[in-house]
Amino acid sequence: PVADKLIVGAALVLLPTVAPSHGPSLLLSSAGLAVPAVVLTLREIFISALREWMATYGQRDVVKVGWVGKCKTATQMVSIPML
């Protein structure tokens, strides 16, 4: 679980650095890619921390990984190289 988060996080951090600074639209520029990259990275950190915190209270099942989360990760891993 940690390895896929590191791969996705590294790709999201590096993606805005390789994007042109002035794209045809704001969404394709480095600034347009930086905001979603930060949001997705912060979400991953928050959810991982929440799972670990809940595990200390024996409530890991409350925030367990679901099918939708696995689909999200698979979609990220397929779509990031396409960007």
Phi/psi class of residue 58: alpha, beta or left (left: φ > 0; alpha: ψ in -120 to 50)? left
Look at residue 27 in the predicted model and tell me its pLDDT.
Answer: 56
- Assess whether pLDDT exceeds 70 at residue 1: no
- Convert the pLDDT of each residue in 11-62 to its tens digit: 888 877 776 666 565 556 677 777 888 888 888 889 888 888 988 888 878 8
Inter-axis angle of helices 2-18 and 67-82, nearest 10: 30
- Assess whether pLDDT exceeds 80 at residue 72: yes
- Reported pTM: 0.69
Look at residue 11 in the predicted model and tell me its pLDDT.
Answer: 83
